[in-house]
Chains A and B, each alone.
Chain A
Amino acid sequence: MRIVNTKKIENCVYRLARKAGTSLTPACRAAMENAAERETSPACKFALDTLLDNARLAEKEELPVCQDTGMACVLIRLGQQVALTGDLLEDAVNRGVRRAYADGYFRKSVCDPITRINTGDNTPAAIHLEIVAGDKIEITFLPKGFGSENMSRLYMLTPAKGTQGVVDCIVQTVKEAGSRPCPPVCIGVGLGGNFDGCAFLAKKALTREIGSHNPREDVRAIEEEALRRINELGIGCQGFGGNVTALNVACEIAPTHIAGLPVAVNVQCHCVRCEKEVL
């Protein structure tokens, strides 16, 4: 048994949040540079170059890359050989978020859904806990903006729709979103599971590095086919009409019910900020 005080988790969440808010992932930066090189539309090229300048400026001056510093998604994979001591895990995570958003001068974007009164400190975080083998704690921090989150969709397909139906859903979601989610987008796809589990798979897919592929050949084929078709839509960076509409499609799967084929499409803007650490 390994004993870990949740203060360690709080500090880790703090570090990850501070770093994530002010920098794109290296894979995202590389994908944007690549997009700027192959984009043929002058308006999209202008927007992509502006965004790369912005990323450099943000990192240099430690400024939020985007003012939407997001809802804090915290994915924790907790080894079952770990015994936690100290404050409640949830409280520790929220304290890490609260401190990071205050010290980083990040925007506080969380509010009551009915009164719309802001909680004032960007908590609560959306915490996902998985118990896994081992004695390590893996923490992933994904600040998720809502311009793109708003464009996400969940489809409960019938099994008859098959993989073609799955790809159609992904492409349709991006098409309907158009210019609104800040393309070029990254798409996280959940396939299978149940209603709620499917949405989580899609979120988890967004934490995968851009350019990585699902190890299963048939899933990878869905990722590649969807990406190809999305980039034929002609939406382009900011919706200005270009040939780079998506940077990546990542799909995660789980077994589902014999009657169903759930597909969750989680849309992420081009500003991919995601930090991980293993304790």
Chain B
Amino acid sequence: MKKLQLPLSKEEVKSLHAGDAVTLSGIIYTARDCAHKRLFSLLDTGMPLPFDLKDATIYYAGPCPAKPGKVSGSCGPTTSARMDSFAPRLFDLGLGCAVGKGEMCEEVRQALMRNTACYFAAVGGAGAIYGNAIQSSECVAFEDLLSEAVYRLEVRDFPAVVAMDCYGESVYKK
């Protein structure tokens, strides 16, 4: 099990291969369906994004509200394929990694290779474990979207698998 500290250098990304089990620690930003639409509206109108995409990690997730005394509620990954149409452009703009669940499309595979980037699969359905691995959580954009807002999370030891690497390899059977 490789312990990775985010953000990853290009050298670290190159050392990862589809199927590798890893843990992720560091800063990640949640964004799912509605948040991606808003990010694209900002890009299309030349407005700044609410966080720096350069080498950043986006987590396709929408957490439950935090119980009193907790940093976050349950926060497992959502289906990445719904972000297929958004991900390539974000990788081209500097996004370093994405974390979600399930296969992503050919255009994403190409974008990962082109940009030496990586897509990780977290374990879908393990929401409680991921929620408890969050050390801090702050809403940084689109608060009106509730669970679909963008949260800046500091995570420790998120279990994940390298799902699609920078060499075009995938853990998913074709």
A-B interaction: yes
- Residue positions of A touching B, CB distance < 8 A: 43, 46-47, 50-51, 53-54, 57-58, 61, 63-69, 105-109, 116, 118, 120, 147, 150, 178-182, 234-235, 238-241, 269-271
Residues of A within 8 A of B126 (CB): 50-51, 53-54, 66
Given contacts A238-B101, A238-B123, contact A66 B74 (CB under 8 A): yes
Chain B: CB-nearest residue to A116: B34
- Residue positions of B touching A, CB distance < 8 A: 19, 21, 33-34, 61-67, 73-76, 78-79, 81, 101-103, 121, 123-132, 145-148, 159, 161, 171-173
Residues of B within 8 A of A58 (CB): 74, 127-128
Shortest C-beta distance, A271 to chain B (Å), equals 5
Tell me, in angstroms, the Cα distance from A108 to B129 when the chains sit together: 20
List the 10 shortest-distance A-B pairs measured between CB atoms, nearest first: A54-B126, A179-B102, A67-B127, A58-B128, A182-B124, A67-B74, A64-B74, A63-B128, A180-B102, A107-B64
Residues of A within 8 A of B74 (CB): 58, 63-67, 107
Contact A269 B127 (CB under 8 A): no
28 A–B pairs (Cβ distance < 8 Å), ordered by A: A43-B19, A43-B161, A47-B123, A53-B129, A54-B125, A58-B74, A58-B127, A58-B128, A65-B128, A66-B74, A66-B125, A67-B62, A67-B74, A67-B130, A67-B131, A68-B76, A105-B73, A116-B33, A147-B78, A147-B102, A180-B81, A180-B101, A180-B102, A182-B102, A235-B173, A238-B121, A238-B123, A239-B102
Tell me, in angstroms, the Cα distance from A106 to B146 when the chains sit together: 12
Contact A57 B129 (CB under 8 A): yes
Given contacts A43-B21, A67-B74, A239-B102, contact A54 B147 (CB under 8 A): no
State the main secondary structure of chain A at its contact with B: loop
Contact A66 B76 (CB under 8 A): yes
Contact B129 A240 (CB under 8 A): no
Residues of B within 8 A of A67 (CB): 61-64, 73-76, 127, 130-131, 147
Residues of B within 8 A of A43 (CB): 19, 21, 161, 171
Contact A107 B73 (CB under 8 A): yes
Contact A64 B78 (CB under 8 A): no
| Extra inter-chain contacts (18) besides given A67-B76, A67-B147, A179-B121, CB under 8 Å | A57-B132, A65-B127, A66-B76, A66-B126, A67-B130, A67-B131, A105-B65, A106-B64, A106-B65, A107-B63, A107-B65, A118-B146, A118-B148, A147-B79, A179-B103, A180-B103, A239-B173, A240-B161
Contact count A vs B, C-beta below 8 Å: 143
Contact A269 B64 (CB under 8 A): no
Shortest C-beta distance, A62 to chain B (Å), equals 8
Chain A: CB-nearest residue to B19: A43
Tell me, in angstroms, the Cα distance from A50 to B89 when the chains sit together: 32
Tell me, in angstroms, the Cα distance from A65 to B76 when the chains sit together: 9
Tell me, in angstroms, the Cα distance from A67 to B131 when the chains sit together: 9
Tell me, in angstroms, the Cα distance from A240 to B102 when the chains sit together: 9
Tell me, in angstroms, the Cα distance from A231 to B63 when the chains sit together: 31
Contact A182 B34 (CB under 8 A): no
Tell me, in angstroms, the Cα distance from A120 to B125 when the chains sit together: 23
Residues of A within 8 A of B101 (CB): 147, 179-180, 182, 238
Residues of A within 8 A of B146 (CB): 108, 118, 120
Tell me, in angstroms, the Cα distance from A66 to B79 when the chains sit together: 13
Given contacts A69-B64, A239-B103, contact A63 B125 (CB under 8 A): no
Contact A107 B147 (CB under 8 A): yes
Residues of B within 8 A of A240 (CB): 121, 161, 171-172
Residues of B within 8 A of A57 (CB): 128-129, 132
Residues of A within 8 A of B132 (CB): 57, 61, 63
Residues of B within 8 A of A270 (CB): 125
Residues of A within 8 A of B148 (CB): 118
Tell me, in angstroms, the Cα distance from A238 to B132 when the chains sit together: 21
